[in-house]
Amino acid sequence: MRDVLLMALFAFLGAAAAGLFGAFALRLLRGRSVAVSLAVVAAVGVMAMLTGTLAVAWAMFLSPHDLTVVTTVCAMAAVVSLVTALLLGRWVVARSHELTLAARSFGDGGSFAAPGGAATAELAELGRELAATSDRLARSRERERALESSRRELVAWISHDLRTPLAGLRAMSEALEDGMAEDPDRYHRQIRTEVERLNTMVGDLFELSRIHAGALSLAPTRISVYDLIGDALAGADPLARQLGVQLTGDSVDPIPVEVDGKEMTRVLGNLLVNAIRRTPADGTVAVAARREADTVVLSVTDGCGGIPEEDLPRVFDTGWRGTHARTPPAGAGLGLAIVRGIVEAHDGHAAVTNVAGGCRFEVRLPAARA
C-alpha cells in the first residue's frame, strides 16, 4: 500500500509541475490568439500525463531497457496526442476566424449572417447572439432613418407654416402703423387669431419634444370613459357648429380606465378636431367606446372620404398631412403624432382604418383593474 501511495505522489508531483508551468505560460501568452492558447492547453495536458508517467517509471527503478521502452512509448503517445489535439484545435480556431470575418459586417452597416457548418456550442450561441444583435441594429437604423426623414419634413413644413402667419402679422402691423388699415378692429382680431395659431403650434412642438425625449410625465387616475368623451365633445362642439358638422356620442359605454385625464382629453380633442376639419358640411363625426377583453377601445369616425391605402401606415408620423394643401387649417401635422405618443405612453395603441365614406381612428387602452 505504501508503494502505491508513493507512486501516486510521484505522479501527482510530476503532473502538478507541468500544470503550474502551463498556467504560467498561459498567463504570459494571454494576449495572443485562441490558437496559441489551445496549443498551450493541449501541450500542458499531454506533458502532465507524460511527466507523471515518467516520474513513476523512474521512481520504480526499472532496468535501463525497461525505462527506455516506457519512455519511448510515452513520448510517442505524447507526440501523437499533441498533434491530434492541435489538428482538432485548428478546426475550432477556423470557426472562430470565420465568425470574426462575419462580424466585421457590423462596422460597414451591413447585416450579420452566421457562417454555415457545424460549430461548438459556445460558438453557435455566439453566432445566434450576433445575429440577434444584427437584427436589433437593423431595426434601430431603420427607425433612425425614418426619424431623420420625419424630422426633415417637419422642419420644412414648420418653416412654411411659420412663414405664412408671420408674413401676415408683419403686413397687418405695418398697415396699422402707416394708418392704412380701413378697419383697425378687424386687423386686431386677425392678429390675435394668428398669434393663437402660433401659440398652438409652439405648444404642439413642445409636447412632441417631451414625448420624443421620454419626458412626458403622467398622473393616472381612475376615470370613466363617458366623462372623458363628454369633455372632449364639449370642447370640439364650437368648431363643429362653425363648420356645420354634427357630433354624436351615442355609443359610449361608461367604462373605467386609469389614464392621465388631461393628456387623454388632448388625444380625443386632437382626433375630433382632425375629423371635424376633414368632414364636409352637414357630415357627421361619431365617437364610440367599447370594451374588448382587457382593452378599452375609443373610436372617432369621420366622413373625410377615406385615406389612400399607401398613406395609412404614415398617418401617425410626425409632420404627415397627406395630400391636403400645406395651408391653414391643415396645421403642422403634429396632432396625430402627439396622439400616438400619448397613447403609447399609456401602454396603448393607436390605429386608423378606412370605413364607408371616411375613416375610423381607434385608441386601445388597458382596462382599469377591478
What digits encode the pLDDT tens for the residues 63-109? 676 767 767 777 777 777 777 766 666 666 666 766 676 666 665 55
Q: What confidence score (pLDDT) does residue 200 get?
A: 77
Closest-CA residue to 365 (of 356, 345, 252) = 345
pLDDT the model gives residue 360: 93
3-state secondary structure of 76: helix
358-361 — which CB contacts under 8 Å span 24+ positions? 358/279, 358/301, 358/302, 358/303, 358/304, 358/305, 358/306, 359/301, 359/302, 359/304, 359/306, 359/307, 360/299, 360/300, 360/301, 360/302, 361/271, 361/274, 361/275, 361/299, 361/300, 361/301
Q: Please give the C-alpha separations between residue 154 and each of 87, 167, 200, 296, 298, in angstroms, as whole numbers.
A: 61, 20, 16, 32, 28
Which grid cell sits at 329? Answer: 387649417
Instruction: Give the tens place of pLDDT for each residue, 243-260.
Output: 999 998 877 877 888 998
Smallest Cα–Cα separation from 317: which of 341, 294, 295, 300? 341
Alpha-carbon distances, residue 300 vs 76, 126, 313 (angstroms): 85, 49, 18
The CA radius of gyration of the chain, in Å to the nearest whole number, is: 38
In the block, which residue shows the cell 452566421?
114
* Four-CA torsion 256, 262, 265, 271, nearest 10 degrees: -130
Q: Which of 316, 289, 281, 307 is nearest to 359 (CA)?
A: 307
Residue 7: pLDDT above 50? yes
pLDDT band at 327 (very low <50, low <70, confident <90, very high): very low
Kindly report the pTM of this predicted structure: 0.56
**Choice between 216 and 320, residue whose per-residue pLDDT is larger:** 216
Instruction: Please state, in angstroms and rounded to a whole number, the distance separating the CA atoms of residues 205 and 94.
Output: 55
Q: At what angle do helices 184-212 and 121-177 cross, to 10 degrees?
A: 170
pLDDT of 8-56, one tens digit each? 665 666 667 766 766 666 666 666 666 666 666 667 666 776 676 766 6
Q: What pLDDT score does 326 carry?
A: 37
In angstroms, the CA 336 to CA 207 distance is 12
Residue 361 pLDDT greater than 90, yes or no: yes
Query: What is the distance of C-alpha 244 from the center of its chain?
Result: 43
CA dist 363 to 252, 271, 288, 327, 358, Å? 14, 10, 11, 27, 17
Between 20 and 285, name the one with better pLDDT: 285
Instruction: For residue 329, name the pLDDT band (cuts at 50, 70, 90).
Output: very low
**Spatial distance between the Cα atoms of 270 and 298, rounded to a whole number of angstroms:** 13
How many C-beta atoms lie closer than 10 Å to residue 350's C-beta? 21
> With contact defined as beta carbons under 8 Å apart, do 249 and 230 qualify?
yes
285 or 133, higher pLDDT: 285
Mean pLDDT across the chain: 77
Is the pLDDT at 61 greater than 60? The verdict is: no
**Start-end of H helices in 178-280:** 184-212, 225-243, 261-277
Residue-wise pLDDT tens digits, 142-192:
878 877 776 776 677 677 667 777 888 888 888 888 887 778 888 888 888
The answer to whether the CB of 38 falls within 8 A of the CB of 72 is: no
**pLDDT for res 85:** 67
Half-sphere exposure of 47 (CA within 13 A, CB side): 14
- Which is it for strands 246-252 and 284-292: parallel, antiparallel or unpaired? parallel
CB-CB contact of 288 with 301 (8 Å): yes
With a pLDDT cut of 90, the percent of the chain lying above it is 11
Q: Which residues contact 351 (CB under 8 A, 6 or more apart)?
A: 361, 362, 364
Question: Whose grid coordinates read 359610449?
Answer: 252
For residue 116, give Cα distances in angstroms to 98, 113, 317: 9, 9, 40
Higher pLDDT, residue 321 or 347? 347
Is a pLDDT exceeding 80 seen at residue 239? yes
CA distance 91 to 104: 20
Distance from C-alpha of 38 to C-alpha of 45, rounded to nearest angstrom: 11
- pLDDT confidence of residue 325: 39
Q: How many CB atoms lie within 10 A of CB 76?
A: 10
